[in-house]
Copies of this chain bind each other. A is one copy, B any other.
Amino acid sequence: MRDVAELAGVALTTVSRAFSDPGKLAPETLRRIESASANLNYTVNLNARSLRRRSSDAVLVLLPDIANPFFSLVLKGIEEAARESGRVLLVGDTGSDATLGDSYAGQLEARTVDALILLDGRLPFRPGSPARARLLRSPVVAVSERVAEAGVPYVGIDNVAAARDVAHLLADLGHRRVAHIGGPAGNSLTQEREIGFSAGACERALWLGGMVTGDFSIRSGRDTAAVILSWPDRPTAVFAANDEMAFGAIHAFKAAGLRVPEDMSVVGFDDIAFSEIHDPALTTVRQPRRAMGRTAMAVAAAQIEGTPLPASTVILAHELVLRASAGQAPSAANAKRKRVAFERAPF
State the Cβ distance, A252 to closest chain B Cβ, in Å. 10
CB-CB under 8 A for A110 and B43, given A51-B51, A91-B91, A248-B347: yes
- CB of A195 within 8 A of chain B? no
- CB of A175 within 8 A of chain B? no
- CB of A128 within 8 A of chain B? no
CA of A273 to CA of B272 in the docked complex: distance in angstroms?
13
Query: When the two chains form their complex, are residues A79 and B51 in contact, meaning their CB atoms are under 8 A apart?
Result: no
By a CB distance below 8 angstroms, the chain B residues around A73 are 66-67
- A265-299 interface (Cβ within 8 A of B): 273-274, 277-279
Q: How many residues of A contact B (CB 8 A)?
A: 56
Stretch at the interface among A23-31, A82-90, A156-164, A202-210: A82-90
- CB of A45 within 8 A of chain B? yes
Residue of B nearest to A71 (CB): B72
- CB of A224 within 8 A of chain B? no
State the Cβ distance, A343 to closest chain B Cβ, in Å. 11
Query: When the two chains form their complex, are residues B111 and A47 in contact, meaning their CB atoms are under 8 A apart?
Result: yes
Query: When the two chains form their complex, are residues A66 and B79 in contact, meaning their CB atoms are under 8 A apart?
Result: yes
CA of A131 to CA of B43 in the docked complex: distance in angstroms?
11
- A110-145 interface (Cβ within 8 A of B): 110-112, 130-131, 134
By a CB distance below 8 angstroms, the chain B residues around A51 are 45, 47-48, 51
CA of A73 to CA of B111 in the docked complex: distance in angstroms?
29
Query: When the two chains form their complex, are residues A76 and B67 in contact, meaning their CB atoms are under 8 A apart?
Result: yes
Residue of B nearest to A251 (CB): B277
Query: When the two chains form their complex, are residues B347 and A46 in contact, meaning their CB atoms are under 8 A apart?
Result: no
Residue of B nearest to A38 (CB): B130
CB-CB under 8 A for A41 and B130, given A67-B73, A110-B46: yes
- Contact pattern, A 78-101, Cβ under 8 Å of B = 1, otherwise 0: 011001000011111100000010
By a CB distance below 8 angstroms, the chain B residues around A72 are 66-69, 72
CA of A100 to CA of B344 in the docked complex: distance in angstroms?
34
CA of A104 to CA of B83 in the docked complex: distance in angstroms?
9
- CB of A56 within 8 A of chain B? yes
- CB of A219 within 8 A of chain B? yes
- CB of A180 within 8 A of chain B? no
State the Cβ distance, A87 to closest chain B Cβ, in Å. 11
- CB of A107 within 8 A of chain B? yes
State the Cβ distance, A107 to closest chain B Cβ, in Å. 7
- CB of A75 within 8 A of chain B? yes
State the Cβ distance, A183 to closest chain B Cβ, in Å. 17
- CB of A247 within 8 A of chain B? yes
By a CB distance below 8 angstroms, the chain B residues around A56 are 47
- CB of A176 within 8 A of chain B? no
- CB of A44 within 8 A of chain B? yes
By a CB distance below 8 angstroms, the chain B residues around A45 are 51, 110-111
Query: When the two chains form their complex, are residues B344 and A345 in contact, meaning their CB atoms are under 8 A apart?
Result: yes
CA of A90 to CA of B51 in the docked complex: distance in angstroms?
19
Interface CB pairs A-B, < 8 A, 12: A44-B110, A45-B51, A46-B110, A47-B47, A47-B50, A88-B90, A89-B92, A90-B90, A218-B277, A248-B277, A274-B277, A279-B279
9 A-B pairs besides A46-B107, A67-B73, A67-B76 with CB distance below 8 A are A41-B134, A43-B106, A45-B51, A47-B112, A51-B51, A67-B72, A222-B347, A247-B274, A251-B277
